[in-house]
Amino acid sequence: MTTSILSANGLSKSFGGHAALADIDLQVEQGEFIALLGPSGCGKTTLLRCIAGFLKPDAGSISIAGEDVTALAPYHRPLNTVFQNYALFPHMSVVENVAYGPRRKGAPRAEAMRRAEEALDLVGLTGFADRMPARLSGGQQQRVALARAIVNRPKLLLLDEPLSALDLKLRKKVQRELKQLQEKLGIAFLFVTHDQEEAMSMADRIVLMNRGKIEQIGRGPDIYRKPATRFAADFIGEANLLPVKRAGEGGFTLFDGAVSITNGSAPHAAKLLGIVRPEDVAIVTDQALTGFVTVLASVEDIVHIGSHGFVTLRTNGCILISRTTPDTISKLVLGATVHAGFRSTDVHIIAEQAP
């Protein structure tokens, strides 16, 4: 039996009657890169702080590498954290910041300094050892925070929106570097973010959270193709959410019966919701496409953003958005009637929960 690096069981935490975490179960395996994704206030940071030991959960337990740490103080937990605003010690130089961890763990000064220099090399900050944190750029501070957190080689690294303070271009670059570093070190990363693109591009698995609960756990592409809930479909990428009615064994209708499809994986529920990604919706002006189910629709809005564009279509009271090429868009005019089509296999059907 392999032990998970992190195992959280039944974690709950509420603040003044508001449930920030409700019965959270989460396992993180050796060397995994996990993104904790969700909108602000969904509980992802609360979960991280419970794992780090800065918050005490109301119920549930946390184990790290098989050891129950629920009652342990932060300084006894075998993990490290990269804080949102880096939390670098302003009165210490870069190398002193990084050597702080080894020093606290009892390493002699010379060895702590040597290990700190190594960690700084690893994050590409060779030669910055004697600078003060205030004299560094945001990106450099972020690297110091990272070096400080990995210098003790923890089993688990928690990262609390570490890139949110960086500008977009730098963030993309740091994302790649962070991913490479994680693979090189083999440390499990638990990475909090509200940016779904960041989560999709970096994480092995995404833990999608909403309102203190886990909505779905899975690989990014799996959540994208087969979202478990309306929230998951809406939060990760763009989605057309269409009411679906059951029509006989394995058969379903959309757009008030205008389109019929078959689907073997639909759940048994009273209310159903069909999810179609915009890039799966094709537009043709004059004829029906072969292999597609099509519906007549009128063009309501066109947004052109360079490499591609979004066309908003109205059909039988439903809105359908299509992501299409500039070429197709150039042939469209507002108000025109077109055929919109998609493969029936591109429709993912889920149960619509009561709101």
d(CA 158, CA 50): 11
The single residue among 5, 35, 52, 181 that binds another protein, judged by CB under 8 A, is 52
The single residue among 81, 141, 182, 196 that binds another protein, judged by CB under 8 A, is 81
Q: How far is the CB of 150 from another protein (least distance, A)?
A: 11
Q: Which is nearer to another protein, 65 or 258 (CB)?
A: 65
The single residue among 54, 67, 126, 301 that binds another protein, judged by CB under 8 A, is 54
Interaction pattern, residues 83-122, with another protein; x per rule: CB under 8 A: xxx-xxxxx--------xx--xx-----------------
With contacts defined by CB under 8 A, how many residues of the chain interact with another protein?
A: 24
**Among the residue ranges 29-37, 144-152, 225-233, 255-263, the one whose residues contact another protein (CB under 8 A):** 144-152
Q: CA 97, 102, 106, 107 torsion: positive or negative?
A: negative
For 257-293, the DSSP string reads: TTEEEE-SS----SSEEEEE-GGG-EEESSSPPTTSE
Let me know if 73 is exposed, middle or buried by CB neighbors in 10 A (0-12, 13-18, 19+): exposed
| 277 forms part of the interface with another protein (CB under 8 A) | no
Q: Which is nearer to another protein, 33 or 86 (CB)?
A: 86
Q: Give the Cα-Cα-Cα angle 214, 280, 320 (nearest 5 degrees).
A: 85
Per DSSP, the three-state class of 253 is strand
**Among the residue ranges 11-19, 59-67, 78-86, 213-221, the one whose residues contact another protein (CB under 8 A):** 78-86
Q: Are 207 and 26 in contact (CB under 8 A)?
A: yes
The single residue among 80, 140, 142, 193 that binds another protein, judged by CB under 8 A, is 80
Q: How many CA atoms lie within 13 A of 118 on its CB side?
A: 12
Adjacency order of strands within the sheet including 240-246:
259-262, 251-254, 240-246, 272-276, 348-351
Considering only residues 291-320, where is the footprint of another protein by CB under 8 A?
none
Q: Which is nearer to another protein, 15 or 54 (CB)?
A: 54
Q: Which is nearer to another protein, 154 or 309 (CB)?
A: 154
| 164 forms part of the interface with another protein (CB under 8 A) | no
Region class of 211: left (phi > 0), else alpha (psi between -120 and 50), else beta = left
The single residue among 10, 39, 74, 124 that binds another protein, judged by CB under 8 A, is 74
Q: Note the residues at the interface with another protein (CB under 8 A).
A: 52-54, 73-75, 79-81, 83-85, 87-91, 100-101, 104-105, 148-149, 152
